């Protein structure tokens, strides 16, 4: 069964399921596995460090799939910003036609991307940012609710409210992001007005995800109670899986209150991703993880996961919902 929506049409994909950019997870192996299974896989641009490495990663991904895949560009507040012009150039020269932007307003980069025929989906945690994305010419929005792994923003509006509010206001299509795990999520997302779903955390617990086994085990073991919000005093809130480093960090936040600066917590967050994702040092620092960890009970292949989601969605419609209306 296939579900056709404005999102599947826009991106030329079989299933309305996107794998959001994930630092030190979104390598070619991850993106290709999702795209080969009929979803939209996304390489995480900044993880590559330099535009030249991103160009190589795009070429590597192309060897693994002939289906569409995208690149995530996250615009972070940074003292020394990454080489964004170089990354955009690598994306365009690499023939990428889909870019997921996140973080700061991507307006500056849109003319160049559009001219190269690139479709842009911007990740937003509020209706007002989604409307802004629409106004500046983004093709679609990924609406990230409070449940999401990573940066949920500062409004704390969960998807049961955020998605229908986005549907009330937006003209461009959007996908539901944050807390999505299975066929129930997909059917709920479509019911609330989204035209597909974006998953982060769930895709990490798959056979192909190029991360240490300890990370996958931690996700299967975690419940919906095991995430924490960090860096709220810095207005850079991140939802992470709890661990020793996160508890240390939260203790510092409590102790220092308004006086907290990034330097105080750098040991718990700066440069920790390779240690966790590559080497499986699970207490090395805070790493993004959604509440959806509570819905992750196994480590299937990406294709098994996507086929299962589509099968569950159809069963919900035909076996559960339709008879209720009879």
Ligand X SMILES: Cc1cc2nc3c(=O)[nH]c(=O)nc-3n(C[C@H](O)[C@H](O)[C@H](O)COP(=O)(O)O)c2cc1C
To ligand X, the closest distance from the beta carbon of 241 in angstroms equals: 9
Strands 174-177 and 140-144: parallel
- The yes or no reply on residue 25 touching ligand X (CB under 6 A) is yes
Tokens of 217: 């085990």
Which 169-228 positions form the footprint of ligand X (CB under 6 A)?
Answer: 177-180, 198-202
Q: From the CB of 123, what's the least distance to ligand X, in Å?
A: 5
Distance between CA atoms of residues 214 and 280, nearest Å: 5
Q: Binding residue for ligand X (CB under 6 A) from 33, 87, 288, 302?
A: 288
Torsional class of 291: left (φ above 0), alpha (ψ -120 to 50), beta (otherwise): alpha
Q: Which part of the chain contacts ligand X (CB under 6 A), choosing from 57-65, 90-98, 251-259, 287-295?
A: 287-295
- Strands of the 174-177 sheet, one edge to the other: 17-19, 197-199, 174-177, 140-144, 119-124, 98-103, 69-75, 41-44
Binder among 3, 10, 17, 22 for ligand X (CB under 6 A): 22
* Contact with ligand X (CB under 6 A) among 35, 36, 48, 72: 72
| Complex with ligand X: residue 24 or 257, whichever CB lies closer | 24
Cα dihedral 297/300/306/309 (nearest 10): -30
| Shortest-Cβ-distance residue relative to ligand X | 200
- Angle, nearest 10°, between helix axes 51-64 and 28-36? 30
CB 240 within 8 A of CB 227: yes
Nearer CB in complex with ligand X: 254/262? 262
**Of the residues 99, 292, 309, 310, which one makes contact with ligand X according to CB under 6 A:** 292
- CB-nearer residue toward ligand X: 218 or 254: 218
Q: Which is nearer to ligand X, 63 or 272 (CB)?
A: 272
Paired tokens of 261:
């600066």
Shortest Cβ distance from residue 5 to ligand X (Å)?
Answer: 19
Nearest to residue 40, comparing CAs of 63, 72, 70?
A: 70
The residue count for binding ligand X (CB under 6 A) is 29
Burial grade of 169 (CB within 10 A; 0-12, 13-18, 19 or more)? exposed
Q: Which one, 23 or 132, has the nearer CB to ligand X?
A: 23
State the minimum distance, in angstroms, from the CB of residue 34 to ligand X.
12
49, 293, 323 from 224: Cα distances, Å: 32, 6, 31
State the Cα–Cα distance between residues 104 and 111, nearest whole angstrom.
16
Task: Verify binding: residue 41, ligand X, rule CB under 6 A.
Answer: no
- Neighbouring C-beta atoms of residue 321, cutoff 10 Å: 12
Stretch that binds ligand X, among 126-134, 250-258, 283-291, 304-312 (CB under 6 A): 283-291
List, in sequence order, every beta strand (DSSP E) within the chain.
17-19, 41-44, 69-75, 98-103, 119-124, 140-144, 174-177, 197-199, 227-230, 238-241
Q: Which of 35, 36, 44, 206 binds ligand X (CB under 6 A)?
A: 44
Task: Please list every residue from 120 through 179 that binds ligand X, using CB under 6 A.
Answer: 123, 144, 147-150, 177-179
- Please report whether residue 102 would count as binding ligand X according to CB under 6 A: yes
Q: Does 23 bind ligand X (CB under 6 A)?
A: yes
Q: Which residues would be at the binding site for ligand X (CB under 6 A)?
A: 20-23, 25, 44, 72, 74, 102, 123, 144, 147-150, 177-180, 198-202, 287-290, 292
């Amino acid at each position: 069964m296939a579900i056709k929506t404005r999102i599947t049409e826009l991106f030329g994909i079989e299933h309305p399921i996107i794998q959001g950019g994930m630092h030190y997870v979104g390598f070619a192996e991850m993106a290709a596995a999702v795209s080969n299974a009929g979803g939209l896989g996304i390489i995480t641009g900044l993880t590559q460090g330099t535009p030249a490495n991103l160009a190589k990663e795009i070429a590597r991904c192309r060897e693994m799939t002939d289906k569409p895949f995208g690149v995530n560009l996250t615009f972070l507040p940074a003292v020394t910003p990454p080489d964004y012009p170089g990354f955009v150039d690598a994306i365009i020269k690499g023939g990428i036609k889909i870019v997921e932007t996140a973080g700061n307003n991507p307006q500056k980069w849109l003319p160049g991307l559009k001219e190269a025929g690139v479709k842009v989906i911007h990740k937003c945690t509020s209706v007002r940012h989604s409307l802004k994305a629409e106004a500046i010419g983004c093709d679609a929005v990924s609406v990230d609710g409070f449940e999401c792994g990573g940066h949920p923003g500062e409004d704390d509006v969960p998807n049961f409210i955020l998605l229908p509010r986005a549907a009330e206001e937006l003209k461009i299509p959007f996908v539901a992001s944050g807390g999505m795990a299975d066929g129930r999520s997909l059917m709920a997302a479509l019911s609330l007005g989204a035209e597909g779903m974006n998953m982060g955390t769930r895709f990490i617990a798959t056979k192909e995800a190029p991360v240490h086994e300890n990370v996958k085990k931690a996700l299967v073991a975690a419940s919906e109670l095991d995430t924490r919000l960090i860096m709220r005093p810095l207005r850079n809130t991140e939802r992470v899986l709890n661990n020793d480093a996160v508890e240390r960090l939260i203790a510092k936040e409590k102790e220092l209150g308004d006086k907290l600066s990034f330097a105080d917590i750098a040991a718990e967050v700066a440069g920790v991703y390779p240690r966790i994702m590559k080497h499986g040092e699970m207490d090395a620092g805070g790493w993004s993880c959604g509440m959806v960890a509570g819905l992750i009970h196994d480590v299937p292949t990406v294709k098994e996961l996507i086929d299962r989601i589509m099968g569950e969605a159809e069963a919900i419609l035909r076996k559960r919902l339709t008879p209720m209306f009879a």
